[in-house]
Chain A
Amino acid sequence: MCARNSIYTNPKPCKHLADYKLRHGFNTYDSIRNCLKTTPNGRTRVAKHTTKIPRCSFCDRYQGRLYFCLMCSSLWCPSHILLHAQSEKGHEVAIDMDRSELYCCLCCDQVYDPDFDKVVVCNQVKDLPGGSKSKTNSFEASGERSSKRKRLDSGIGLDLKKSELLVSMRDRRAKSCYPLGLRGLNNLGSTCFMNSVLQALLHAPPLRNYFLNDRHNSVQCRKRSGEKLCLLCDIDAISSAMFCGDRTPYTPAHFLYSWWQHSSNLASYEEQDAHEFFISVLDGIHEKESKIRNSGKDDGDCQCIAHRAFSGLLRSDVTCISCGFSSTTYDPCVDISLNMDTSNLSSSNANKPIKPDEKTSVSTLSGCLNLFTRAERLGSDQKLHCQNCQELRDSSKQLSIRRLPLVLCLHIKRVEHSLVRKISRKINQYMQFPFSLDMTPYLSSSIVRSKFGNRIFTFEYDNSNSSAAYEIFAVIAHSGMLESGHYVTYLRLKNQWYKCDDAWISEVDEGIVRASQCYMLFYVQKLLYNKANEDSSFVRISPRRDPFESTAGCS
């Protein structure tokens, strides 16, 4: 059951633990198996003395941490356990009673042992309702799904590697030294929401390559479907226009028209929400693809470019507070909407002033992600039916990411609804975000693992092959108020940031980007980012196509 964990590096056992294991093997671990007691929320305690209160053998203390010596089952508080280990040879390893974690008395520090964790976790899984049988089944099922997903993921990776049509880009018409694909988009009447999202989409490595490799051929598309309207054809046209080398601002009128046809409820000259637009574009792309392929596949396995690039899988665990039974569901998603972590900034500071050098007053992306994956207790008006208790119970819900997408779109919800005053307000609070993002702590494997306490034990379905390291490539920033504001996109190409403000493209310093009010953040898997930013100025001529053939949209 213990797979090699490549995401975390397992801490090495200290000398004392290593000696202890040589001497005793698993004997003492097995012996405490019977003393472990699990609470519904997943904490495992050592509960040998059910009648007496556990107390330190030296000072009778019963408060705070107590350690249970593995050799002689005596109890000690942190101040006196060192004495015990020094006076009795061989009694160096103990267990923290409240947390079931190993402690080396001579090193005075926590130590880790996968074998010990295995004992604890097996016991815990056995105790929780649902039992060991159903848990192993869900592990196996997830394992199968994950291996299937790995094949699909590597599929798109191979496409990118094998692409013979790396566009030749020693462009003779380029007036500036800006990298390829940078071109302004004209505002057609409050369409900055559209321009900003288009800039981000067109430079997302999977989509960029998809269109540059002519994976959506307009001629064939029209022949096949017969319809005049195809969002992909229009995006393909814009992509060609962006990469043809002409730097004069381009007018995406045809795309706007197509999109209005698709989302007629949003068709107006009013300012729209960029995130809403983003979702509707992906939806439009998906709809068209599923019509062509005539497949009723759900979003999780869909092969349209929108889903291949953006689709991820969220895991939701709902746990009954009373008995600990938890049910898990998986939902596909194309982005993650995050609430801002502003709640902990005001309440705690109001009570007791914390030292000013502690950075608790800045909202950060990791804070928002932590908030997203935090176990949330559902209100008593939201009792759910627990299968184990067979009645409505208070529950807690926790989200985590089961499978990360190639392109991770993070949407920062900057709207605050006041129920009292019945108005919505924009949250202008500055939020700090990193350029390199490690999503490991928000994966299901990490979140589920942490439910069992401080363990290094791994589960079968660890996605250790797919990377959780991301690099940012686009930021859509919003300035202004809720009803009337302006969107701009910052693009990161070859480690230089560019500001795309409708028709105006300019080079900017990364400080400007960091200081902007981010609304949507686009991260791509690090490997794809590195590939996309390789020097692509050499020519690779595919035998099929003349690279100098003029592309549609270029004058």
Chain B
Amino acid sequence: MKHSVNRPPTPDAAEDQGKEPPLQEIINVKLIESGEKERLMELLRERLIDCGWKDEMKALCRAHVKKKGRNNVTVDDLVHLITPKGRASVPDSVKAELLQRIRTFLMSAAL
């Protein structure tokens, strides 16, 4: 049997990168390029300190280290410990403020 030489190669499923990057990524790129992301991160850090969120997380970590012993805890342990609780306890006001800032930024960037 002869192989058809002109048959195009079977498209490799893993190489199917033709789709557009997701919206989230585009926004992220824009934020980083303009330096806005850094400013937002600073603002977020400040707000989380003000509302006591940082102190709460610190207390959680301390309690965990006390329980397990100083030499038996790794950074990864602590991150896995406080990530769900941390995400859940960010005050709504902080989320709202950041969302507003991002919206404003996007509107000005789109112009």
Contacts and interface: CB of A to CB of B under 8 A. Distances in A.
Q: Do A and B bind each other?
A: yes
Interface string B16-56: 00000000010011001000001000100010011111011
B56 A348 contact: yes
Contacts of A453: none
B91 A351 contact: yes
Given A347-B91, A348-B89, A110 B75 contact: yes
Given A41-B42, A351-B91, A374-B49, A78 B29 contact: no
Nearest to B32: A53
B92 interface: yes
Most buried by A among B29, B51, B59, B93: B51
A348 B60 CA distance: 15
Q: Give the interface residue-count category, chain A.
A: 20 to 34
A554 interface: no
B5 interface: no
Contact of A39 (B38, B53, B56): B38
Interface stretch (A239-247, A330-338, A352-360, A538-546): A352-360
Contacts of B28: 53, 62
B91 A370 contact: no
Most buried by B among A103, A343, A352: A352
A51 B2 CA distance: 49
A367 B76 contact: no
A109 B56 contact: no
B49 A78 contact: no
Given A53-B29, A352-B88, A347 B75 contact: no
Contacts of A359: 59
A108 B72 CA distance: 12
B67 to A, nearest CB: 13
Interface residues of B, number: 26
A264 B92 CA distance: 53
Contacts, number: 60
Contact of A103 (B51, B60, B75, B93): B75
B108 interface: no
A340 B28 CA distance: 40
A128 B74 CA distance: 32
A354 B55 contact: no
Interface string A349-380: 00110100011100000010010001001000
Interface string A99-114: 0000100011110000
A351 B92 contact: yes
Interface string A20-52: 000000000000000000010100000000000
Contacts of B42: 39, 41
Main secondary structure of the interface of B (DSSP, over half): helix
A345 interface: yes
A57 interface: no
Contacts of A360: 52, 55-56, 59
B79 interface: yes
A109 B55 contact: no
Nearest to A62: B28
Contacts of B75: 103, 108-110
A344 interface: yes
Nearest to B53: A348
Contacts of B60: 358
Given A344-B55, A351-B93, A367-B55, A65 B74 contact: no
Given A39-B38, A41-B42, A358-B60, A109 B76 contact: yes
A38 to B, nearest CB: 12
Contacts of B46: 377
B49 A347 contact: no
B73 to A, nearest CB: 8
B110 to A, nearest CB: 20
B89 A352 contact: yes
Contact of A344 (B29, B52, B74): B52
Contacts of A78: 76, 79
Contacts of A377: 46
Contacts of B88: 352
A108 B74 contact: yes
Contacts of B53: 348
Contacts of A107: 74
Interface in B50-107: 50-53, 55-56, 59-60, 74-76, 79, 88-93
Contacts of A348: 51-53, 56, 89, 91
A347 B91 CA distance: 9
Interface in A371-407: 374, 377
B29 A370 contact: no
The 7 closest A-B pairs by CB, nearest first: A344-B52, A109-B74, A351-B91, A110-B75, A108-B76, A348-B52, A348-B51
Given A107-B74, A348-B52, 12 more contacts: A108-B74, A343-B52, A351-B93, A352-B88, A352-B89, A352-B90, A354-B56, A358-B59, A359-B59, A360-B55, A360-B56, A370-B55
Interface of A: 39, 41, 53, 62, 65, 78, 103, 107-110, 343-345, 347-348, 351-352, 354, 358-360, 367, 370, 374, 377
14 contacts: A39-B38, A53-B28, A53-B29, A62-B28, A108-B74, A344-B52, A347-B91, A348-B51, A348-B52, A348-B53, A352-B90, A358-B59, A360-B55, A360-B56
